A and B are shown apart, each in its own frame.
Chain A
Amino acid sequence: MSDGDARAIATDRAGGASEPVLTREDRASLLRFMLLMRAAEERGLRLYKQGKVPGSFYDGRGQEAISVGSSFALAPEDRMCILHRDLGAHFVRGVSPERYLANYMGRSGGVTGGKDGNLHFGDPELGCVGMVSMLPDMAPVATGMALAMKMRGERRVAMTYFGEGSTANGQWHEAMNMAGIHRLPVVFVLENNGYAYSTPNELEFAADPVERAESYGFHGVKVDGNDVEAVFEASVEASERARGGGGPTLIGCRTMRMHGHGAHDDMSYVPDGVLESWERRDPIDRYRRHLADHHGFSEQELDEVATAVTEQVAEDARRALDSPMPEPSLASEGLYAEAFRPLGDGVAPWSRWAERKPLRPVNGNGRSPSSEASVSRSAA
């Protein structure tokens, strides 16, 4: 990265950023994280079919560009509430496939140690608050994190996701409204994947949710959710706007859920030809071609990225399978917290964050909640 990039972050701009700079290594990372999400979910689905996953199995096949492209824009001190189609964001922020797969299998090595399943996790050490099943409950929570950031005068951002199905719930309105009133530094990423379980868009809303952003007093933008760099650029612009005091952004990503709501769902409600048409717009295949055609990546280089991912997931799956089931006695532990522990910082692989000024005041007022955690993480 160049020094100019670091300065651009520190510059107090309320409007859109200049075109964000992606290095060759950044682009390889974007591809790698999307491949990692797909490979880990494919491995998880196999484990489910082998009977090693209690409950059902949920994935985000076809939506990899959204969680990877958006989370790639974030700085370490930013915070996330990641949802169930967004495994890529967990990987970008530093969760390993091993801990993801172990969580699905209810093993002690999972992110929640067996307390919660599937994608209902967030690693507090990596700045993430885990989702709940009620949707979009994390939208008010991310709004509250942004409220804290604004109250302390920090240049940080909270980001969360929801599907278009969630926009029908009253809590969606409550969160949008509160974020708009206080111009909070929060980025809402809406994934319109065509269906709320089996219910199609035309039975979900009469007015496009992205267009509602304006009526809440902030920006709404629509991007191709299967174009990882388009999602990334919109996320950079939204987070820069938020850091500069310009308020929230709703980024609407059009995509398609290529698998059922869960592994138990045969998708019989999807008309013939729809999946085939979206298959031709697969975000990973597209990005691979894009890197070859426009950024000089050789087939060999691209194959090497894919091979490394396959090997990593195989090794992580082995370790996850070695992880023991939790002791039953753990079920009665941890109801109450003994003391407050701040969230730690996430990993921020975008080269722009390698050298820059911290986003929270050095001698900030009140608490500087995650400074200790961030020190310990960067030392690790």
Chain B
Amino acid sequence: MSPEATGIAPEEAPSQTTPAQPTHPGGSREMTYLEAISDALREEMRRDEAVFCIGEDIGAFGGAFKVTDGFAEEFGAARVLDAPLAENAIIGAAVGAAVEGMRPVCEMQFSDFIACGFDQLVNVAAKLHYRQGLAAPMVVRLPSGGGFSGGPFHSQNPEAWLLQAPGLKVVAPGSPADAKGLLTAAIRDANPVCFLEHKGLYRYLREPVPEGEYVVELGKAQMIREGDELTVIAYGSAVGLATQAVDELEADATVLDLRSLAPLDTEAVLEAARRTGKVLVAHEATRTCGVGAEIAAIVSELAFEHLDAPVRRLTAPNLPIPFSPPLEQAVLPQLADMKEACRELLDY
């Protein structure tokens, strides 16, 4: 994949100017985004016997992306359960196990396949507490995103589908440390949590990640850069792209990493919008009724008087993600697109 697709070279992982977490007493270790996800899963499975993984090819094979590599040896096949190709059964069984006191972590081999388990997710899991007062503590891991010729069925970013199902929590980490901390919080949460892990970041991002127990609270955005003339609101792969763009432009800009899409940190969004007066929302997912549309609406409704420019969006257009590299790069937001969008708003 091209560096522009995700924006951040390994040595340029975003430094956190205003870290939300205190320095971790247990020390830290350099990890990729993928290793951080594995680390969180391993820590939680060691801590709590109720935590188990279920998904396709996650046991002996270690998962299509090797997130659970070595898990079957450490935890036994029963807790790293290879499932048949049956996404509704995986998610439905997770609901049943969760209400029985287990903490299932489902892996969709690619986030695209959540479409095959959608009914159990949105009709059973999401509504269970509202309808019945019954908590279903479970996580659905969703390897998402494009940039490597995965084509229309291995490159999607399905968050807007999920955000239309009240009752789900949806998180999308943009850094290895957040991947670990958010996954830990997701496993401990009492609700169904969809965990969007961007495949393009798996082996691309590397940074020091706290060792041992590390929790990042769900529903809290994080400021990656603080500036006064523009706010770029992003999540997932767009965070690195936004950070690189404002750094290269030497812009006096705020970069806000949403981290959680549901619940959304509306306060952080509004604070940044009011302070800077200009907002760009950036994500790799398609445009219509996406997170960008929602943020733009919130900012227009609640911070209109503070705006110095229209809220702008940088997203993929409403198209399937095509296969061939030049076609795919034409669809996915690139670093040049991000810089141009920032420049336009700064000049407005």
Q: How far is the CB of B222 from chain A (nearest CB, A)?
A: 21
- Give Cα A337 to B167, complex, Å: 9
Query: Which of A112, A151, A177, A336 makes the CB contact (< 8 A) with B131?
Result: A112
Contacts of A181 in B (CB 8 A): 84
Q: Are A137 and B131 in contact (CB under 8 A)?
A: no
Query: Which of B78, B95, B100 makes the CB contact (< 8 A) with A369?
Result: B100
Q: Are B93 and A147 in contact (CB under 8 A)?
A: yes
Contact indicator per residue, chain A 260-272, by CB within 8 Å of chain B (1) or not (0):
0000000000000
Q: Are A144 and B97 in contact (CB under 8 A)?
A: yes
A350-380 at interface with B (beta carbon < 8 Å): 365-370
Quick check: is B102 within 8 A (CB to CB) of the other chain? yes
- Give Cα A338 to B137, complex, Å: 10
Q: Are A171 and B78 in contact (CB under 8 A)?
A: no
Q: Are A145 and B97 in contact (CB under 8 A)?
A: yes
Quick check: is A132 within 8 A (CB to CB) of the other chain? yes
Contact indicator per residue, chain B 203-237, by CB within 8 Å of chain A (1) or not (0):
00000000000000000000000000000000000
Contact indicator per residue, chain B 60-96, by CB within 8 Å of chain A (1) or not (0):
0000000000000000001100011010110111111
- Give the segment of B121-129, B156-164, B299-307 that binds chain A: B121-129
Category for how many chain B residues contact A:
35 or more
Q: Are A336 and B49 in contact (CB under 8 A)?
A: no
Q: How far is the CB of A25 from chain B (nearest CB, A)?
A: 31
- Give the segment of A120-128, A198-206, A321-329 that binds chain B: A120-128
Whether A143 contacts B92 in the complex (CB less than 8 A), given A337-B191, A341-B135, comes out as yes
Whether A146 contacts B101 in the complex (CB less than 8 A), given A334-B129, A366-B49, comes out as no
B111-153 at interface with A (beta carbon < 8 Å): 119-120, 123-124, 127-137
Interface of A, helix, strand, loop or mixed by DSSP? loop
Q: Are A130 and B93 in contact (CB under 8 A)?
A: no
Q: Are B100 and A148 in contact (CB under 8 A)?
A: yes
Q: Are B96 and A144 in contact (CB under 8 A)?
A: yes
Whether A124 contacts B102 in the complex (CB less than 8 A), given A142-B96, A146-B96, comes out as no
A139-174 at interface with B (beta carbon < 8 Å): 139-149, 151, 158, 170-171, 174
- Give Cα A171 to B83, complex, Å: 14
Contacts of A207 in B (CB 8 A): none
Quick check: is A175 within 8 A (CB to CB) of the other chain? yes
Q: How far is the CB of A49 from chain B (nearest CB, A)?
A: 26
Q: Are B95 and A141 in contact (CB under 8 A)?
A: yes
Contacts of A336 in B (CB 8 A): 129, 167, 169, 190-191, 263
Whether A145 contacts B89 in the complex (CB less than 8 A), given A151-B52, A337-B190, comes out as no
Whether A140 contacts B135 in the complex (CB less than 8 A), given A145-B100, A178-B86, A365-B49, comes out as no
- Give Cα A63 to B104, complex, Å: 36
Whether A141 contacts B92 in the complex (CB less than 8 A), given A181-B84, A365-B49, A369-B101, comes out as yes
Question: Nearest CB to that of A156 among chain B residues?
Answer: B100
Contacts of A158 in B (CB 8 A): 96
Whether A148 contacts B102 in the complex (CB less than 8 A), given A122-B132, A367-B50, comes out as yes
Q: How far is the CB of A157 from chain B (nearest CB, A)?
A: 12
- Give Cα A341 to B132, complex, Å: 12
Quick check: is A335 within 8 A (CB to CB) of the other chain? yes
Question: Nearest CB to that of B89 among chain A residues?
Answer: A174
Q: How far is the CB of A115 from chain B (nearest CB, A)?
A: 5
Contacts of B309 in A (CB 8 A): none
Question: Nearest CB to that of A140 among chain B residues?
Answer: B92
Query: Which of B88, B100, B131 makes the CB contact (< 8 A) with A170?
Result: B88
- Give Cα A137 to B119, complex, Å: 8
Question: Nearest CB to that of B101 among chain A residues?
Answer: A369
- Give Cα A277 to B132, complex, Å: 39
Quick check: is B185 within 8 A (CB to CB) of the other chain? no
Query: Which of A122, A129, A134, A143 makes the CB contact (< 8 A) with B119?
Result: A134
Q: Are B101 and A367 in contact (CB under 8 A)?
A: yes
A165-217 at interface with B (beta carbon < 8 Å): 170-171, 174-175, 177-178, 181
Q: Are A137 and B130 in contact (CB under 8 A)?
A: no
- Give Cα A141 to B104, complex, Å: 13
- Give Cα A342 to B136, complex, Å: 10
Contacts of A141 in B (CB 8 A): 92-93, 95-96, 99, 120, 124
- Give Cα A145 to B136, complex, Å: 12
Whether A134 contacts B123 in the complex (CB less than 8 A), given A112-B131, A115-B131, A145-B100, comes out as yes
- Give Cα A103 to B83, complex, Å: 37
Q: How far is the CB of B107 from chain A (nearest CB, A)?
A: 16
Question: Nearest CB to that of B84 among chain A residues?
Answer: A177
Quick check: is B320 within 8 A (CB to CB) of the other chain? no
Q: How far is the CB of A4 from chain B (nearest CB, A)?
A: 31
Contacts of B3 in A (CB 8 A): none
Q: Are A120 and B131 in contact (CB under 8 A)?
A: yes
Quick check: is A256 within 8 A (CB to CB) of the other chain? no
- Give Cα A337 to B190, complex, Å: 6
Question: Nearest CB to that of B188 among chain A residues?
Answer: A340
Contacts of B93 in A (CB 8 A): 140-141, 143-144, 147, 178
Q: How far is the CB of B224 from chain A (nearest CB, A)?
A: 27
Quick check: is A224 within 8 A (CB to CB) of the other chain? no
Question: Nearest CB to that of B78 among chain A residues?
Answer: A151
- Give Cα A140 to B128, complex, Å: 15
Quick check: is A99 within 8 A (CB to CB) of the other chain? no
Contacts of A151 in B (CB 8 A): 52, 78-79, 97, 102
Query: Which of A129, A134, A334, A338 makes the CB contact (< 8 A) with B190?
Result: A338
In addition to A141-B99, A174-B84, 8 A-B residue pairs with Cβ atoms within 8 Å of each other are A137-B123, A141-B96, A147-B97, A171-B120, A337-B134, A337-B137, A337-B190, A340-B135
Closest 10 pairs between A and B when the two form their complex, measured CB to CB: A144-B96, A140-B92, A369-B101, A144-B93, A337-B135, A174-B89, A148-B100, A366-B49, A174-B86, A145-B96
Contacts from A to B (Cβ < 8 Å) = 79, 112, 115-116, 120-122, 124, 129-130, 132-134, 137, 139-149, 151, 158, 170-171, 174-175, 177-178, 181, 334-343, 365-370
8 A-B residue pairings within 8 Å (CB atoms): A122-B132, A130-B132, A137-B92, A144-B95, A151-B78, A366-B49, A367-B50, A368-B101
